[in-house]
Amino acid sequence: MPIHVLPDHVVAQIAAGEVVERPASVIKELVENALDAGATHIGVASIGGGQKMLRVSDDGSGIRAAEVELAFARHATSKLHTADDLLHLQTLGFRGEALCSIAAVAHVTCISRHRDEQTGLRLRLEGSVITVKQASGAPAGTVITVENLFYNVPARLKFLKKETTEKRQIAQIVTLYAMAYPKIRFTLEQDGREAFRSNGSGKLSDVLAAAFGSETFKQLVPVESTTNGIQVSGYTATPEAGRGNRERMHIFINGRAVQDHSLLRAVTDAYKGLVPEGQYPVSVLMVSVPPEDVDVNVHPTKAEVRFRDPNAIFTAVQRAIREAIIGTGGGTNVSYRPAASGFTSPRRTPSGGFRPSFTDEQLPDESDVSSEDSAEYAAEEPREFDISHIPEGIGQPDRPRTLPVLRVVGQMGLRYVIAEGPVGMYLIDQHAAHQRILYNAVRARMDEGQDIPVTETVGGTARTTPVQSRQLDDLIPSLHPYGLWIEPFGLHIYRVAAAPNFLADLDAELVIRAVLNAILNPGDDIREAVFIALCRLGALQHGTLLTQADMQALIRELERTPDPLTAPDGSAVLVEFSADLIAREFKRR
């Protein structure tokens, strides 16, 4: 075959192979253009993993009508004039290749109106050939729609991954840019459904919470450190949190997401000894270096960069992470648990935060005085629940909330209240919750020197052994401040003259058994043990049917206790199922 110069469209197709590898790389180029154009909102949409249709719309400067066609020419750029400009680039694009390359391998429609011009222009290209060019009304900004990607490059088409994989790649790239540009509002719609949205608040934390979900976000600590003029900021996982793969380690150099293996190693190295081998932390880092110290022009998609002093950056990243995670109080002396057991070490919860995911928690068991005894006390048949048993003195409106506002959904198994909160669903153990409320109410009164409201309706008597009688006699006076008045009623027989009003209508036998039982397991403070046992006895039992109003009252009281997460005996009151976690469970099926 004689030598000949390739026609332009063939050159374009070959060159396109470098820039446009898959739908996500088209998104990347178009989003970068929108950012360079000063957009504040960037909308991304895809259909069918992006092969069928991709669209990026922005409210940036727009392209002048006279220049739209030029924008699609090879090496046409407004961002660079001389090669020297490469040394202090402020824009993401500069090669002037993206639009040209995309147009070579797809059907592209560009509608753009420059903000200084009255009318916009609509340009359609099919495989680099212009098929439509007409004036068009449009809001200032640019919308580029790419259809039938690789329709004329069967080889590429064949190499596209499953639709779900391409979709994930697209979501990943949009999320990455949202992280790098928290001030810009990003929305992503895939197959007509919103897949991601950032709020443009300017806070990286908001983007991360949207991208990873609150469950994961709660396990991150902020990174903020400067070493030798290299600034590293972002968020990284506490050593207790972990992840099996590298998918959530992201490094941005001057606002550009890069794949730099050495820097990723700097991150994993910083966790050495804190996480088991083969575990990768969630880590999102923004590295700022002087533009002249980094060469971004080494890779067609600019995913790799070259540093003038790679070691300095490596050190800065590693140090920043170390500082962040050692500062968490984890660090040097945290012994990491093997992956097999899951991440069960108690996680740090932000103050006032909830216990972590339910996988960490055993659902609270029956009260645990000792199993036989508690079985005796637990009322088997449904008992009337009267919220008025809750003494006054709690729930003053001035007491700050310690739980988010919870909406009661219903009751489950005559045991748990199902509630909905801002970040997901909660199961609240009715028995444990009420114990907490009773305990705090009585404590609050005692602390304020007020009498405990008592009832004199505890009927019946209890027989004791001589040993128990002696123990009771010793203890009885010290229980008066708690509102419990036990009296001898004959030899080795006792009655209850008065008791905290939440024990109204119980039998003396039950009350005195609870006291004796507490004496057997006194812990540090026998009166405290008795008090806790009484709360357990008087609290709403499992097996009690609750009306909607009962449940609302219960939750409202719980919301006002300073420590709503556990009952006084240490059992869990509520278990959180975050919306993310639930969504993940559904996706897994």
Residue 34 is a binding residue for ligand ADP (CB under 6 A): yes
Residue 77 is a binding residue for ligand ADP (CB under 6 A): yes
Residue 98 is a binding residue for Mg ion (CB under 5 A): yes
DSSP category for residue 240: T
* CB contact at 8 A, 565 and 574: yes
Residue 580 is a binding residue for ligand ADP (CB under 6 A): no
Q: Which of 16, 28, 29, 385 binds ligand ADP (CB under 6 A)?
A: 29
Closest distance to Mg ion from the beta carbon of 307 (Å): 23
Residue 52 is a binding residue for ligand ADP (CB under 6 A): no
How many C-beta atoms surround the C-beta of residue 532 within 10 A? 23
φ, ψ of residue 236 in degrees (nearest 5):
-145, 155
Measured from the CB atom, the residue of 120 and 424 that comes closer to ligand ADP is 120
Q: Interface with ligand ADP by CB under 6 A: which range of 87-95, 329-337, 377-385, 406-414?
A: 87-95
- What residue 564 binds from Mg ion, ligand ADP, none (CB within 5 to 8 A, per partner kind)? none
Q: Interface with ligand ADP by CB under 6 A: which range of 6-14, 59-67, 126-134, 188-196?
A: 59-67
- Tally the residues of the chain: 589
Q: Which of 93, 239, 538, 568 binds ligand ADP (CB under 6 A)?
A: 93
| Amino acid type, 496 | V
Closest distance to Mg ion from the beta carbon of 93 (Å): 3
Closest distance to ligand ADP from the beta carbon of 48 (Å): 23
Measured from the CB atom, the residue of 32 and 240 that comes closer to Mg ion is 32
Closest by Cα among 220, 189, 199 to 284? 220
Residue 307 is a binding residue for ligand ADP (CB under 6 A): no
Q: Interface with Mg ion by CB under 5 A: which range of 91-99, 139-147, 152-160, 173-181?
A: 91-99
Mutual orientation of helices 163-180 and 23-36 as an angle, nearest 10°? 20
Q: Interface with ligand ADP by CB under 6 A: which range of 33-41, 46-54, 356-364, 572-580?
A: 33-41
Report helix, strand or coil for 550: helix
Measured from the CB atom, the residue of 29 and 166 that comes closer to Mg ion is 29
How many C-beta atoms surround the C-beta of residue 131 within 10 A? 11
Q: Which of 16, 27, 42, 98 binds ligand ADP (CB under 6 A)?
A: 98
Per the structure block, which two tokens stand in for 563?
Answer: 């420590």
Residue 59 is a binding residue for ligand ADP (CB under 6 A): no
Q: Which residues fall within 8 angstroms of residue 455, CB to CB, at 6 or more apart? A: 498, 499, 500, 501, 503, 504, 505
Q: Interface with ligand ADP by CB under 6 A: which range of 69-77, 132-140, 181-189, 255-263?
A: 69-77
First to last CA, the chain: 56
- CB half-sphere exposure, 123, CA atoms < 13 A: 26
Closest by Cα among 54, 45, 47, 247 to 163? 47
Measured from the CB atom, the residue of 46 and 541 that comes closer to ligand ADP is 46
- What residue 71 binds from ligand ADP, Mg ion, none (CB within 5 to 8 A, per partner kind)? ligand ADP
Report helix, strand or coil for 43: strand
Residue 60 is a binding residue for ligand ADP (CB under 6 A): yes
Residues near ligand ADP (CB under 6 A), total? 23
| Amino acid type, 563 | D
Closest by Cα among 203, 201, 198 to 177? 198
Q: Which of 22, 53, 94, 252 binds ligand ADP (CB under 6 A)?
A: 94
Q: Interface with ligand ADP by CB under 6 A: which range of 71-79, 248-256, 477-485, 579-587?
A: 71-79
Separation between Cα atoms, residue 149 and residue 166, nearest integer Å: 13
How many C-beta atoms surround the C-beta of residue 226 within 10 A? 13
Q: Interface with ligand ADP by CB under 6 A: which range of 96-104, 195-203, 278-286, 353-361?
A: 96-104
- CB half-sphere exposure, 509, CA atoms < 13 A: 6
Residue 142 is a binding residue for Mg ion (CB under 5 A): no
Give the residue closest to Mg ion by C-beta: 93
Distances (CA, A) of 267 to 217, 223, 237, 274: 18, 12, 11, 12
Residue 33 is a binding residue for Mg ion (CB under 5 A): yes
Give the residue closest to ligand ADP by C-beta: 93
Closest distance to ligand ADP from the beta carbon of 302 (Å): 10
| Amino acid type, 284 | V
Separation between Cα atoms, residue 329 and residue 76, nearest integer Å: 53
Measured from the CB atom, the residue of 33 and 411 that comes closer to Mg ion is 33
Q: Which of 63, 462, 496, 529 binds ligand ADP (CB under 6 A)?
A: 63
Q: Interface with ligand ADP by CB under 6 A: which range of 92-100, 118-126, 154-162, 581-589?
A: 92-100
Measured from the CB atom, the residue of 93 and 239 that comes closer to Mg ion is 93
Q: Which residues fall within 8 angstroms of residue 254, CB to CB, at 6 or more apart? A: 287, 288, 289, 291, 294
* CB contact at 8 A, 350 and 218: yes
- What residue 96 binds from Mg ion, ligand ADP, none (CB within 5 to 8 A, per partner kind)? ligand ADP
Q: Which of residues 121-150 bind ligand ADP (CB under 6 A)?
A: 142
- What residue 63 binds from ligand ADP, Mg ion, none (CB within 5 to 8 A, per partner kind)? ligand ADP
Measured from the CB atom, the residue of 103 and 334 that comes closer to ligand ADP is 103
CB pairs under 8 A, 24+ apart, for 118-126? 119/65, 120/62, 120/65, 121/63, 121/65, 121/68, 123/68, 123/69, 123/72, 125/72
How many C-beta atoms surround the C-beta of residue 398 within 10 A? 6
DSSP category for residue 479: G
* CB contact at 8 A, 391 and 453: yes
Residue 78 is a binding residue for ligand ADP (CB under 6 A): yes
How many C-beta atoms surround the C-beta of residue 336 within 10 A? 17
Binding mask 319-358 for ligand ADP (x = CB under 6 A): ----------------------------------------
Q: Which of 45, 58, 275, 550 binds ligand ADP (CB under 6 A)?
A: 58
* CB contact at 8 A, 176 and 257: yes
Binding site for Mg ion (CB under 5 A): 33, 93, 98
Binding site for ligand ADP (CB under 6 A): 29, 33-34, 37, 58, 60-63, 71, 76-79, 93-100, 142
